[in-house]
Structures are given as C-alpha cells and as structure tokens.
Chains A and B, each alone.
Chain A
Amino acid sequence: MSAGPETAEDRQLLLEVEGLAVEFDTYGGTVQAVRGVSFSVDSGETLAIVGESGCGKSVTVQSMMGLTPMPPGRITAGSARLRGTEILGRTLIDGREIRGSEIGMIFQDPMTSLNPTMTIGDQIAEPLQVHRGYSYRHAFDQAIELLELSKIPEAKKRARQFPFEFSGGMLQRAMIAMAISCKPAILIADEPTTALDVTIQAQILDLLQDLQKETGMAIILITHDLGVVARMADEVAVMYAGKIVEHGSADDVFYRSAHPYTLGLRAAMPTNDPTRQHTLEPIEGSPPDLFAPPVGCGYASRCPHAMKVCHQHHPDDFFLIGDHFSRCWLHHSQAPDKPETLYFREAET
C-alpha cells in the first residue's frame, strides 16, 4: 500500500544528512550516541529508521532538529542540509524557522508532549501564529480544520478541551494536527504508535498515509517495530550502536537482508508460519557500551559470523544492488565462508 507506483520524476531530494556524530557528556564519561550517520529523504517518501533502544535513532533526529540540550550534548561532526541549506548547529531560538514550519515532529508519548494547561485548539494554533503570523482568531479556526483533517469527531468542541479530556489515540491525532499545521515538507514521527493499542495504531498509520498522499510530505518514521516498518516504509535504515548498518528499500531489507543484525532481529520475532516450525532465536548478549565503543564493528561481539577483522576494523559500506548497502565485512570480496542465510550480490558473470 505504501510503496505505490514509483513516481521518481516528481520526487525531489529534501534532506541530506552526512556523517552526523553526536556525543553526550555524562558523569560516567562521554557517550558517543551517534557515530557517523548518513541518509537522505525525498519528498513523498517514507524512510523508517529501525533499531533497538539505545541505538541512537532518536538522538539522530533530535540533534538534527536542535532538540538535544547542548551541553551536555555536542554535535562533533557531520552536516544536515534541507534543500541545500545547513540546519545543524542552530540554537533553540534560530532553529524555529525550520522546526515546526519546514519539519514537523510527533513524539512517542502524546500525554507528556502536550501542554496540560492549554486547550488543544490553542496549542495547534500556536505554531500558525508564530510561523505564519496569523491572528489568534484565524489560527484557531485553522486549528479546527486541522483537527477535522486528522479525523477527530466534533472538532469544534474538541478544540476547546484540554489534553486530559482526550484519549491516547485522540491526543496522537491532535499532535499530528499540530505537526502538520504549517504544511511541513518533512514529518518526523518518533515511535508514534508505541504507546497505543494495535487497533488505534492502525488508525494512526492510516491517517499518516492519507496525509502523506494529500500533501506529498516526506515521513521519517522512527520505530523498533518491524511490522510497522513493513506497513509504512519505502526505504529502511537499520541502526545499531550509533551507526546505520544496513540501508535499502523495504523489499531489500526484508527479503534480501544483508546484515547479520537485520537477520538476527527477524529471527527473534514470531512469524506467521502456521506450521510452527519456526522457533525464536534471540540475539545473545547486549549492545556495546558506547562510553568506549568497540574499534571494530559494533555488532561483532554478538554476531554469529564474526571474524577476526570484525573486531579490529570498521567495515565499509558494501553496496549490493543499487542503493542497498550493508556495513559488514562478510561482503568483502575476500571474506571466507559466507553464511547462506545472508543475501549476497550475485557474482557478475
């Protein structure tokens, strides 16, 4: 449903992130939360960034949006260009022209992300007053329309209510209404449905897809749920220990998984195989300590196929077909015994 017919001509490059690295100073030392992340987003496209807690997926987008407190946070390298303009390194105040207007954002927990002392309508109207210079009246009427667009019944009445009068699913709709109020080119959704029930999750995902179809905005979806990824994503970036380890189209990443971590994640989930042949294979161990990140591949200590080189040197991006890449030494032309379960590019004949 999501991938639809390719309309490559209509798509234009919106956001280009290159080599982004973010550190945090803590009492225990410096955590290297993001260690060189690059990706790009086209208009009308959905990029899913997948990974487990602590892999740096939220920090990546928050630092880009100027939402990480600095200090203790620090962007040590990299750039992020929105239509060619650098957006990194803006302070909270100058970040405003982009945040909320060019890039909208929704968060995991709508209960704590909204102001409990303002009515929903006022909160949605605020970005319109700030970014578009609308009068309060005009902005508030617009807010009601946005609530209707987000399929909230009785929008007029609801706009005058406070967050505590809304259910979780309704609050997430209100958050979406606020995020899209200034017609952003990109909507960042950070675990938008993690706190919701599956039935409500389906409603919210439908809503996001409908809005994307109408407005042509790009969506960066951050999630740990591979089901949500399969449902929404055109492109998928798998993150582990602060780096993107595999990136490709949804079909590439799901059907031609080329990184042992991607395979590990899939094997750890129940499948829909009715024969019950499948048993869950957990990934043993735990992610590396990012106070002192490993010199080699971050996944080496848990990887069933790890070789000597994996512990000593960082793997490069090995491109398979098109833009599909995997950051794994197994794809090196001289790698010995390649595991059968991983996808490799067919040898060129």
Chain B
Amino acid sequence: MTVLLESNNLTKHFKIGRDQVVHAVDDVTLSIAEKEIVGLVGESGSGKTTFGKAILGLHDKTGGSVTFKGEKLPKKYQPRDFQRLASRMQMIFQDPYSSLNPRMTVGEIVGEGLRLHSKENATAIREQVARWLEQVGLNADHMSRYPHEFSGGQRQRIGIARAMILEPEFVVCDEPISALDVSVQAQVINLLGELKESMGLTLLFIAHDLSMVRYVSDRMAVMYLGSLVELGPADNVYFDPKHPYTEILVNSNPEPDPETERGRQSTAIKGEIPSPVNVPAGCRFANRCPQAMDVCRKQTPQLILLQDLDRQVACHLY
C-alpha cells in the first residue's frame, strides 16, 4: 500500500476579532493510501469540511503540513500552486444549488477546468465535455443549458463531471449526497463507485450519514470539535466503536428496521457540541462523555494505536 496523501498535525484556526480564535481543525494526522476511500464523519461544527478544504489548499494552513505523493504542499497556495495542483486534486461540493454558477452553461462549467489547465482547443474541449456528461448519466445536449434547468441529483452529476474531467488522482467529496433524495443518493453513490474503479481514484468522503459512510468507505475517521478521535476499518469502527463519542454517534443513527429500533435503549447524549472558540482543556468530549474521568479534564488524549484491533483512538480509557 502506497501512501498517496498525508496530513501531519494539520491545524486550521480562524481569527474572529480580538483574542478570539476558532479552533476549526487541530492537529489532525491522517494518511490516505492510493485507491482508498476514507470516510470522515462528525457532527456539524466538527471541522470536517475545513479539513477537506485545508488539504486542497482552499484554506491556508495554520500549522502542520500536507504531503501529496511525497511532495510537501505549500502552507499558503499561490495562483501557480492551484494551477499546478488543481488537475490532480479536486473537490465535489455539498450543495448542488450554490456550487454551480447560475450564469454559466453546463458546458462552460464542466469545460472550465480543461480550458484553464490543458492546451486543447475549443472543439476538443467540447468533445471531452460531451463524453463526461454521458459518463455521469447526463446527455451531451445538456451542454447548452443552465444549472437551474436541472434537478438536485442532475446538478450533483454536473459537479462530479466538473471535478472528474481533469482526471484527478484525489477527490474530496464534501457531503455529496446529503441534499439528495434516497433513490437519487444511491444513483450518485454508485456513479462515484464506478468512477473510482475505472479511474483508480482516491477519495476522502465527508458525510454525516454513518450507514452510508460505512457502505462507501474502506476506513472511517471520526472527528469531534476539530480533532480526530477514532480511525480504523469502516466496519470495525461502525460495529465495534471504541471511543465513547463514536459509540454515541453510531447509536444515535436510526436504522430502517422497526424491530431494532424498538429494542434500542435511549442513548441520546446530553448537551450539544461546545463552541470551538473556547475549547475545553483536556479531552474535548469530556463534558458530554458518560465515562469521563478526572484525567480527561486535565490532559489531552493522544491518538494511540490499538494493535490487535487495527484502530487508532484518542481516549484515556485505552
């Protein structure tokens, strides 16, 4: 297994006014192997999207580094860095409504990457766009239409075609299906699966739907308030969670099965995710954790490897 991308202690803070800092992502170390799908889950405000964007250079990094195929990526991207890297790393966005420019035709949206990054002429670009539209299940005639003429699922396909046309090696999918209906979610997931196989893609799949993340990913990473709390093979993390937060997250996820649901103990966790501005000392989950100990409030747990379980957990219980 060759490592494609590695983030080392990646940190992203936002300054919001005097002396106030949002700790969006803190010290996240994660390596992604070639052709692997890593699922990233967590509540809103846990820093999933910021992490994805920081990897791609859409946010400047506050600390730490990202290595892509052995090359350390710059801390702050200059236009030429985007020019160089955009064809290798791409992103699919959550909201298919706001992520497409309403004043550009679908042909212009999908072809823009090629126009900027390849030396091909207009006719060749049109051919490529037509080919990609068909590949994602749309029609080549759709090229001259505008985004508003499409449904949510079709727009998400346009977003996928736009990301894939440059044939990137690594794609961050930021909640690509959460705005879609169930039957359409399956269409988009299967499309991503096919493209992954045919293009040998590596994906970081960000979502909050745990069953879908388990279905899609090889490994699952769980974030809480900017830090990584658990990482391991997707099935193991889902069926045998080790971190108390993961356990609560898995147990809160209702399953489409009345029998299971009837037998379920109420596991609702008290309270809500604290503000990332005033991050509590020690373990960030301690104030909501049913198993919190004294040490949890004083010392920040490090991500440790549980050898026999092939699992990394940041919790004082281990």
Q: Give the B-binding residues of A (Cβ under 8 A).
A: 1-3, 52-53, 167, 169-170, 197-203, 205-206, 224-231, 233, 250-251, 254-255, 264-272, 274, 276, 279-284, 286
Contact = CB atoms under 8 A, between A and B. Distances in A.
B183 A265 contact: yes
A90 B191 CA distance: 48
B256 A202 contact: no
A226 B261 CA distance: 11
9 contacts: A1-B264, A197-B273, A199-B43, A200-B272, A225-B254, A227-B256, A265-B183, A267-B186, A272-B211
B289 interface: no
Contacts of B257: 230, 254, 272
Given A224-B181, A227-B253, A230-B257, A269 B211 contact: yes
B206 to A, nearest CB: 14
B268 A203 contact: yes
Nearest to B183: A283
A307 B186 CA distance: 25
Contacts of B186: 267-269, 280-283
B125 interface: no
Nearest to B266: A206
B262 A3 contact: yes
A254 B183 contact: no
Interface string B210-244: 11101100000000000000000001000100000
B268 A280 contact: no
Nearest to A52: B181
Contacts of A250: 258
Contacts, number: 127
Contact of B189 (A233, A254, A280): A280
Contact of A270 (B44, B212, B252, B254): B212
Contacts of B292: none
Closest 4 CB pairs of A and B: A227-B254, A282-B186, A270-B215, A226-B256
A198 B249 contact: yes
Given A231-B254, A270-B212, A265 B44 contact: no
Interface in B262-299: 262-264, 266-269, 272-273
Interface string B118-140: 00000000000000000000000
B16 interface: no
B44 A197 contact: yes
B239 A274 contact: yes
B143 interface: no
B62 interface: no
A199 B249 contact: yes
Contact of A197 (B43, B189, B262): B43
B214 A270 contact: yes
B208 A198 contact: yes
Interface residues of B, number: 44
Given A198-B208, A283-B183, A231 B261 contact: yes
Contacts of A225: 254
Given A230-B254, A265-B182, A268-B183, A202 B262 contact: no
B183 A169 contact: no
Contacts of A269: 182, 186, 211, 256
Interface of B: 43-44, 151-153, 181-187, 189-190, 208, 210-212, 214-215, 235, 239, 248-249, 251-264, 266-269, 272-273
A272 B209 CA distance: 13
B293 to A, nearest CB: 21
Contacts of A286: 151, 153, 184
Given A206-B268, A269-B182, A283-B186, 20 more contacts: A52-B182, A52-B183, A197-B43, A198-B252, A198-B253, A198-B254, A199-B268, A200-B43, A203-B269, A227-B256, A255-B258, A270-B214, A271-B211, A272-B211, A272-B255, A274-B239, A280-B186, A280-B189, A280-B190, A286-B151
B184 A230 contact: no
Contacts of A1: 261-264, 266
A254 B260 CA distance: 12
A217 B186 CA distance: 36
Contact of B182 (A167, A170, A203, A224): A224
Given A198-B249, A280-B190, A266 B258 contact: no
Contact of B190 (A169, A198, A265, A282): A282
A263 to B, nearest CB: 11
B211 A228 contact: no
Given A199-B43, A202-B269, A274 B235 contact: yes
Contact of A282 (B187, B235, B252): B187
Contacts of B190: 279-280, 282
Nearest to A153: B271
B269 A199 contact: yes
A202 B249 CA distance: 10
A202 B268 contact: yes
B262 A2 contact: yes
A271 B235 CA distance: 12
Given A224-B182, A274-B239, A282-B187, A169 B272 contact: yes
Contacts of A264: 183
Nearest to B250: A198
B227 to A, nearest CB: 17
Contacts of A229: 256
Given A2-B261, A224-B181, A224-B182, A266 B235 contact: no
A268 B239 CA distance: 21
